[in-house]
């Protein structure tokens, strides 16, 4: 599944979840991690990733750290305290949505699986 | 994973410079993205990979990214400043601050009229001007690695954070010009009576102190992570 519209709606949750697991990451690393985890099925485009990162930073959910790496400057993103709280809420929101979607798509199936 | 040659690095810099961007925040992120991607491929594949990157990072997208970042930095600075003010002004602190302002106003009244105006308007302005200079100096230091990297290729590199913060710092100076200097231009020297001018300067001084302290706190928070 590589429908960009479906991914866009969950992009913030994906970023927050990855940062919860990895402490700090830079933009390109996030795109590669998603590609690796989904075996290339989901590719986050730069067009969607960086605006989402900047928005989360402006909302105070992410903090940044600038570091010199191999003659260039790299910007690392990590979760703030508010960001850590937001992961839980976003995850349960997404889980609820997927369960409801499942109810619509397969009415006979009992909900209760995890994403 | 390999290191790019000087020629390849130069080619990347020229490709990024062609996008006509000025923001250091965006330029450093795009440059790091390009290099991180290209390092994962052999030199024989360099041209193709660079073309692919250029197809994704088209100029209009980069400019939109820069424009959106400007907007989000402005709103982030404003909201941080407002958070600082809100967290400071609990009722006891509010009453304490008002009391200090009243006491200072009474003390200032002992001075001559000119000295009062100079003190109430002058001191916060001197503080803000000094602070703006310090912030710009620090920004210059922090920007130097980015400037050193791209200076030969990109004509103008500025930090959006620094520009927005400087605008915010010097904001009260515009009020000073608007209320005091502009009427003078039209010869309206007596437009504001002295008694009101005195009261106005106390209120103005209070607002300037509030603005200066909150912008300083906002800068302290943001300077930990941004290019300021």
Going along chain A from its start, the domains and CATH numbers come out as 4-105 (1.10.10.10)
CA dist., res. B93 & res. B76, Å (int): 25
Q: Which of B29, B72, B226 sits opposite A27 (nearest CB)?
A: B29
Phi–psi pair at A111, nearest 5 degrees: -75, 165
CA dist., res. B118 & res. B178, Å (int): 17
Mean pLDDT calculated for residue range A84-112:
83
Residue B211 has pLDDT above 50, yes or no: yes
Sign of CA dihedral B206, B207, B209, B210: positive
Rounded alpha-carbon distances, angstroms, from residue B223 to A27, B48, B72, B93, B219: 21, 39, 16, 26, 6
Spatial CA neighbour of B150 closest among B34, B2, B3: B34
CB-CB neighbors (< 8 A) of B150 in chain A: none
Burial class of residue A83 (count of CB atoms within 10 Å of its CB; 0-12, 13-18, 19+): buried
**Residues in chain A whose beta carbon is closer than 8 A to a beta carbon of chain B?**
26-29, 45-47, 50-51, 54-55, 57-58, 60, 63-66, 68-75
CA dist., res. A17 & res. A27, Å (int): 14
Rg (CA), chain A: 16
Report the complex ipTM.
0.84
Residue B228 has pLDDT above 70, yes or no: no
Task: Determine the pLDDT at residue B227.
Answer: 63
Task: Determine the pLDDT at residue A60.
Answer: 85
- How distant is the Cα of B93 from the closest Cα of chain A, in angstroms? 26
Residue A112 has pLDDT above 60, yes or no: no
Task: Determine the pLDDT at residue A115.
Answer: 45
3-state secondary structure B56-69: HCCHHHHHHHHHHH
User: Is residue A44 within 8 Å of residue A36, measured between CB atoms?
Assistant: no
Domain ranges across chain B: 6-223
Q: What is the pLDDT of residues A34-83, one digit of tens each?
A: 999 988 888 888 888 999 999 998 888 998 888 888 888 899 999 999 99
- How distant is the Cα of B124 from the closest Cα of chain A, in angstroms? 29
Q: What is the pLDDT of residues B126-164, one digit of tens each?
A: 878 888 898 889 888 888 888 888 878 888 888 898 888
Q: Which of B28, B57, B227 sits opposite A46 (nearest CB)?
A: B57
Least confident of A19-28, B22-31, B53-62, B197-206: B197-206
Task: Determine the pLDDT at residue A79.
Answer: 95
Higher pLDDT, A11 or B183: A11
Least confident of A68-82, B48-62, B99-113: B99-113
> In terms of DSSP bridges, do strands A72-79 and A62-69 run parallel, antiparallel, or are they unpaired?
antiparallel
Q: Which of A46, A60, A73 sits opposite B56 (nearest CB)?
A: A46
- How distant is the Cα of A114 from the closest Cα of chain B, in angstroms? 33
pLDDT > 70: percent of chain B: 87
Residue B49 has pLDDT above 80, yes or no: yes
């Amino acid at each position: 599944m590589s429908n960009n519209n479906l991914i866009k709606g969950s992009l913030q949750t994906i970023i927050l979840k990855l940062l919860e697991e990895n402490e700090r990451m830079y933009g390109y690393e996030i795109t590669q991690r998603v590609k690796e985890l989904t075996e290339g099925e989901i590719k986050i485009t730069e067009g969607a990733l960086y605006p989402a990162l900047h928005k989360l930073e402006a909302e105070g959910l992410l903090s940044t750290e600038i570091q010199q790496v191999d003659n260039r400057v790299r910007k690392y993103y990590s979760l703030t305290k508010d960001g850590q709280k937001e992961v839980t809420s976003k995850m349960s929101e997404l889980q609820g949505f997927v369960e409801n979607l499942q109810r619509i798509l397969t009415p006979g199936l009992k909900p209760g699986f995890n994403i | 994973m390999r290191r790019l040659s000087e020629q390849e690095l130069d080619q990347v810099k020229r490709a990024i410079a062609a996008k006509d961007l000025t923001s250091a925040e965006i330029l450093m992120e795009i440059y790091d993205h390009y290099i991180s991607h290209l390092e994962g491929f052999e030199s024989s594949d360099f041209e193709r990979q660079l073309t692919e990157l250029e197809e994704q990072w088209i100029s209009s997208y980069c400019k939109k990214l820069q424009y959106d970042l400007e907007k989000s930095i402005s709103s982030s600075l404003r909201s941080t400043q407002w958070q600082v003010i809100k967290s400071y002004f609990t009722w006891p602190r509010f009453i304490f601050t008002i009391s200090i302002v009243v006491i200072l106003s009474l003390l200032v009244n002992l001075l001559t009229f000119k000295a009062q105006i100079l003190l109430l308007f002058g001191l916060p302005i001197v503080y803000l001007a000094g602070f703006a200079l310090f912030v710009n100096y620090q920004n210059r230091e922090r920007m130097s690695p980015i400037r050193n990297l791209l200076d030969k290729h990109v004509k103008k590199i500025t930090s959006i954070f620094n520009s927005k913060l400087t605008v915010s710092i010097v904001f009260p100076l515009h009020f000073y010009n608007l209320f005091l200097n502009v009427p003078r231009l039209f010869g309206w020297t007596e437009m504001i009576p002295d008694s009101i001018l005195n009261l106005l300067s106390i209120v103005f001084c209070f607002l300037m102190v509030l603005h200066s302290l909150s912008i300083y706190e906002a800068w302290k928070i943001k300077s930990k992570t941004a290019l300021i």
